[in-house]
Amino acid sequence: MTIYKANILFTKQNDYFEVIPNGFVAVRDGIVQGVYSELPADLRYAEVIDYGDRLLIPAMNDLHVHASQYHNQGIAMDMELLPWLENYTFPEEIKYADTNYAKRMYSRFVHDLWRFGTMRTVAFATIHEESTRLLMQLFEKAGMGAFVGKVDMNRNCPAELTEDTNEAMRANEAIIDSYRQANRSHSALVNPIVTPRFIPSCTPDMLRACGDLARKYQLPIQSHLSENKNEIKWVQELEPESKFYGDAYYRYSLFGQTPTIMAHCVYSSPEEIELMSRQKVLVAHCPTSNLNVSSGMAPVRTLLNAGVRVGLGSDISAGHDLSIFRVMVYAIQVSKMHYRQHQESCPFLTLSEAFYLATKSAGSFFGKVGSFEQGYEFDALLIDDSNLNHGDYSLPQRLERFVYLGDDRNIQLRFCRGKQIAEPEIIQ
């Protein structure tokens, strides 16, 4: 048993922070045993690690990020979507046929996730089996949780990124097989996820194969949904029998038949929202990406009111910022704009709601992750906000200032599943 003492803040529910000044969290075998204002009798003689006046909060989870676009982060932001894909995204992904290149870039990527306090990640790799395995190994070595997807795609993309469906499924099964062997005895931190890029990139036979694969191995799924209006029209042409975009995935068993993340959902129709709610699809809301590539503003309050689960994604490199704290700020701001434009009252996301999306709601994809309630895996960040704390701020205000003004310098320690995570190596 290890007991940590600090100012504890987390969101059991979305509408307020649990705040325990100078509180205690007891952790055994990586699992939270309880959170206390005063230590109970049976723990009174346990060893306490005292972090003084610092803040202890759940770690961040990133539900949507293209690991293979890390080199392109923060460039070409002045381009429109299509030339951006053709001139930047696809040429970059082609480079990952080279595992040395992949190692250099992926090691930076994992390092920087660590830097910004993201302990669980759902990532797109590329079509390349070996590079995908490399990324998984880097997460394992770091001790950080991840679902990593070998990307499947076979149309509307350069020849170098176009795969034969059978070959793609063979590669997927090879990766899956490695991880099934390793995971028999315990729940691994790193796992594969079925990743059809999105409908315009996959022929019906590839989509069907992906759905079959997910069902056969009971694996989760990630893809993109309703990011912009032209894309939605295109999908309707490609899948004329589908009732709406999400229905096209659903018909291929790629929409909640196993746990599913869909990124964006900016223009989801009421029917699509209803199906997401029913199928328990988890939306990866990516506000920075939606702004940078001019997609629009996702109706997060509408999704939440409809019972849809929502988490946050950095969506590098359409998104520019790997910090989920920054993404949280954008989620609040975008919700303010979206609802200001559409109605008189403005039911924007509050800080506790955005925090809940990034922690407990997103964390649910990884199991019991994202809260300090009993039974949750202890994923945590120790925040030293002394450079921001020059006044008489309350604990929630200190957290708010850290979220709005702070950066990686304020993150002093990082824990994933109870283990303190050391700085991962950058491979040159």
Q: Facing residues of 386 across strands?
A: none
Q: Does 31 contact a copy of itself by CB under 8 A?
A: no
Q: Facing residues of 283 across strands?
A: 262, 310
Minimum Å gap between C-beta 150 and a copy of itself is 23
Minimum Å gap between C-beta 304 and a copy of itself is 16
- Which of residues 15 and 50 has its CB atom nearest to a copy of itself in the complex? 15
Candidates 279, 29, 282, 250; CA nearest to 147 is: 282
**What mask, x for binding a copy of itself by CB under 8 A, covers residues 59 to 98?**
------------x-xxxxxx--------------------
Owner of token pair 């409908």: 199
Candidates 288, 290, 282; CA nearest to 255 is: 282
Q: Does 138 contact a copy of itself by CB under 8 A?
A: no
- Which of residues 197 and 320 has its CB atom nearest to a copy of itself in the complex? 320
- Which of residues 41 and 82 has its CB atom nearest to a copy of itself in the complex? 82
The site that binds a copy of itself (CB under 8 A) totals a number of residues, namely 40
- Which of residues 228 and 257 has its CB atom nearest to a copy of itself in the complex? 228
In the region spanning residues 292 to 311, those forming contacts with a copy of itself, defined by CB under 8 A, are 292, 294-297
CB 130, CB 96: distance < 8 Å: no
In the region spanning residues 327 to 356, those forming contacts with a copy of itself, defined by CB under 8 A, are 329, 332-334, 336-337, 340-341, 346, 348, 350-351
Runs of H (alpha helix) within 3-128: 81-84, 90-94, 99-115
Minimum Å gap between C-beta 57 and a copy of itself is 16
Phi, psi of 9 (to 5 degrees): -135, 135
- How far, CA to CA in Å, does 72 sit from each of 68, 104, 274, 315? 9, 14, 35, 12
CB 1, CB 28: distance < 8 Å: yes
Phi, psi of 51 (to 5 degrees): -95, 15
Minimum Å gap between C-beta 99 and a copy of itself is 17
Which two tokens mark 384?
Answer: 């030293």
- Which of residues 1 and 75 has its CB atom nearest to a copy of itself in the complex? 75
Minimum Å gap between C-beta 346 and a copy of itself is 5
d(CA 301, CA 8): 27
d(CA 119, CA 235): 34
| DSSP state letter for 319 | B
Minimum Å gap between C-beta 226 and a copy of itself is 15
| DSSP state letter for 170 | H
Binder among 120, 150, 264, 320 for a copy of itself (CB under 8 A): 320
Residues that bind a copy of itself (CB under 8 A): 71, 73-78, 108, 288, 291-292, 294-297, 320-321, 329, 332-334, 336-337, 340-341, 346, 348, 350-351, 388, 390-391, 393, 397, 400-401, 403-405, 407
